[in-house]
Amino acid sequence: MRTALVTGGNRGIGREVCRALSALGYHVYLGSRDVVVGRRVARAIQSEGDIECVRLDVTSGEDVSALSEHVGENLDVLVNNAGIYNALPFRRLSVDDVRQSCETNMLGPFSLISEFLPKMNRRGQGRIINVSSGYGTFSDRISGPAAYGISKAALNALTVVASQEAEGNVEVNAVCPGWVRTDMGGDGAPRDVSEGADTIVWLATRPADGGRINGQLLRDRKVVQW
């Protein structure tokens, strides 16, 4: 059975990615900081494939190492979805605000990629998808709130660097999900979670003979500018 790990799988876009991958028959590791909540969500959305809730605060080295050992060598898909949105303007940000944003939005993905990319390289297959944002793109002048934009721009840089370490059919890409109705996106967002999850699930599951996509930023299944 193919396997996928989704960080921040207990709500929002991550929850929908877990649901969709389960419907496609994947064994899904649903990462959640709160395992009671995560288990309840896993039971509610599980369909064809199993969904197993795993304790994962992406900023915890202990959680990441324990999870890597638990999952073992054969992870097919890693979705770095967990994220936080600090809306403060630049002039009101503290160093700790920026540190926390970067720890969650970039260093968390870095530690998971460090665990799982070598394993994927050994098997010559795997997909890593970093859920980024248009707010972190240089082509749009990092237009979001400062701590969020800086951390997502750093996540984009991590995507490019990690993609250069990807071997065989392993692919590392970033996705902008668009503006999505979640706790983060708010009620006024135009997209529902299935639209937000679509490109992530598509990249995770497209056949290997569809041509390699690696080191790119995608939106609506198309490569867009960083």
User: What residue ranges bind ligand NAP (CB under 6 A)?
Assistant: 7-8, 10-14, 33-34, 56-59, 81-84, 104, 131, 133, 177, 179-180, 182-185, 189
Q: Which is nearer to ligand NAP, 14 or 215 (CB)?
A: 14
CA distance 38 to 36: 5
Report the nearest approach of ligand NAP to the CB of residue 191 (Å). 7
Q: Which is nearer to ligand NAP, 120 or 193 (CB)?
A: 193
CB 169 within 8 A of CB 124: yes
148 is catalytic: yes
CB 21 within 8 A of CB 45: no
CB 64 within 8 A of CB 58: yes
Report the nearest approach of ligand NAP to the CB of residue 182 (Å). 3
**Distances from the Cα of 40 to the Cα of 37, 45, 54, 169, angstroms:** 5, 9, 12, 35
Q: Which is nearer to ligand NAP, 119 or 191 (CB)?
A: 191
Report the nearest approach of ligand NAP to the CB of residue 124 (Å). 28
CA-based torsion, 4, 166, 55, 36: positive or negative: negative
Residue nearest to ligand NAP (CB): 12
Active site residues: 148
